[in-house]
Amino acid sequence: MKARLSIVASIVVLVVLAVVLSRSPLAAAEKYPVRPVELVMPFGPGGSLDLQARALAAVAMQHLGQPFVITMKPGAGGTIGTAHVARSKPDGYTLLLTATGPMSISLQLEDTGYTKDSFIPIALLNLTPPVVAVRTDRPWKTLEDLLTHIRANPARVVYGTTSVSGLTNLANHMLLQGAGIQASLPTVPFKSVGDQLLSILKGDTEYMVQIHSGLAAYLRSNQIRALAVLSEKRFPVMPDVPTAKELGYDVVASQWMGVLAPKGTSPEVVDTIAKALGKMVKDQSFVTMATKMDIPPAFLQPAEFQEFLEREYQKYGVAIQRAGLKKK
């Protein structure tokens, strides 16, 4: 009995030690990085950002010389984890893997405890566009068909979204404004892309705007049809689908993912990580995983990423104003 108890006790001690050690690694830095780098991922498990983080972690060791340790800090649309990194020590050992929502949208809607200047951009890793989609057996074959249907039935066309103040809903607002449709549509919010898709397939909602990677399997099995993609140029994964821009509606949005560091991180460290990330996204095993996720890698250097972020911030700022989602 005593022996068993001491086993239990020693397991507990080991667990506690492991937690403590992983939290406060041994100090002192010579040439960055000398110890594992914590990559904070501010969303829940199983999402595309989580998978991206794990794919990065799989190739980090060989290109950075140290592993990425992924810390999941979900909550409040990614703003809790993002704020956590904004407050972290800018020593290069706590980095943020984040996306459009927390960095370009949420901070314009509410007090998140950080601003766009709380971070130094390191690298953009990918860009995936939203897609306007309907169930395949619906009569609308083109974006124009759908918009005509919406104009003909003002405030009657039911639309489903996953977040009323999120990227895809803003993109929908931008699209409707571009088409000169003023009436707001009955909008059904769902907790997940799965629920949103089910309601499209069941016919309760008529159309959706969602990031391509979440819909890829359904587009491939021809259960839903993409009417337009909201990117600058056609999306290589589905070259047959026209952009809204070429159809005459200048709406461009994207779900991007990128790595940032807290303000004050030294330029040398930023450079080291940017170079390593550049190699990681070209690593064959990373490319294979990213392609399987339907998120083709892209890459922007720190300076380009900084400019990109600035433009994104302005763009969604305007969209938020026009959509009447006022800043608090």
Partner 1 sequence: MDLAGNVLAGFQVSLQPINLLYAFFGAGIGTLVGVLPGIGPAGTIALLLPLSLGMPPVSAIIFLAGVYYGSMYGGSTTSILVNIPGEAASVVTCLDGYQMARQGRAGPALGMAAMGSFIGATLSIVGLMLIAPLLAGVAREFGAPEYFGLVCLGVMMLVYLSRGSVLKSLISAVAGLILSFIGQDLFTGDDRFTFGVVELKDGLGLVPLFMGLFGITEVLANLEAPIRRQVYDARLKNLFPTAKDWLDSRGAILRGTGIGFFLGILPGGSAMIASFAAYAAEKMFSRHPERFGTGVIEGVAAPETANNAAAQGAFIPLFALGIPPNVAMALLLGAFVLHGIRPGPLMMEQHPQIFWGAVTSMYIGNAMLLVFNLPLIGLWVRILKVPYKMLFPLILLFSVIGALSVRYSPFDVVVMILFGAIGYVLRKMEFEATPLVLAFILGPMLEQALRQSLIISHGSFTIFFTRPIAAVCLGLTLAIVIANLVPLLRAGRKVIAAQETGD
Q: Which stretch binds partner 1 (CB under 8 A): 27-35, 41-49, 141-149, 259-267?
A: 41-49
Among 7, 14, 29, 164, binds partner 1 (CB under 8 A): 164
Query: How far is Cα of residue 210 from the mean position of the Cα atoms in its chain?
Result: 12
Q: Of the two residues 205 and 243, which places its CB atom closer to partner 1 in the complex? A: 205
Q: Of the two residues 50 and 91, which places its CB atom closer to partner 1 in the complex? A: 50
Kindly list the distances between the CA atom of residue 306 and the CA atoms of 38, 62, 121, 138, 171, in Å, as whole numbers in the listed order.
22, 27, 6, 42, 22
Kindly state whether residue 83 participates in binding partner 1, applying the rule CB under 8 A: yes
**Shortest reach from residue 269's CB to partner 1, in Å:** 24
Kindly state whether residue 5 participates in binding partner 1, applying the rule CB under 8 A: yes
Q: Of the two residues 35 and 73, which places its CB atom closer to partner 1 in the complex? A: 73
Quick one: tokens of 322?
């026009």
**Shortest reach from residue 158's CB to partner 1, in Å:** 6
**Shortest reach from residue 265's CB to partner 1, in Å:** 22
Q: Give me the phi and psi of 107, to 5 degrees please.
A: -70, -10
Identify the residue whose tokens are 């809607």.
109
- Among residues 131, 126, 128, which one has the least CA distance to residue 229? 131
**Shortest reach from residue 306's CB to partner 1, in Å:** 27
**Shortest reach from residue 226's CB to partner 1, in Å:** 16
Q: Are 55 and 291 in contact (CB under 8 A)?
A: no
Among 118, 165, 172, 255, binds partner 1 (CB under 8 A): 165
Q: Which stretch binds partner 1 (CB under 8 A): 162-170, 244-252, 273-281, 316-324?
A: 162-170
Q: Is the peptide bond before 186 cis (omega within 30 degrees of 0)?
A: no
Burial code (b: 16+ CB inside 10 Å, e: under 16) for 134-151 equals bbeebebeebeebbebbe
Q: Are 37 and 22 in contact (CB under 8 A)?
A: no
Q: Which stretch binds partner 1 (CB under 8 A): 65-73, 93-101, 138-146, 239-247?
A: 65-73
CA–CA distance, 129 with 175 (Å, rounded to integer): 14
Kindly state whether residue 156 participates in binding partner 1, applying the rule CB under 8 A: yes
CA–CA distance, 313 with 100 (Å, rounded to integer): 9
Q: What residue ranges bind partner 1 (CB under 8 A)?
A: 1, 4-5, 8, 12, 15, 19, 44-47, 50-51, 54-55, 57-58, 71-77, 79-80, 83, 109, 113, 156, 158, 163-165, 186-192, 194-195, 197-199, 201-202, 204-205, 216-218, 220-221, 223, 288-289, 292-293, 325
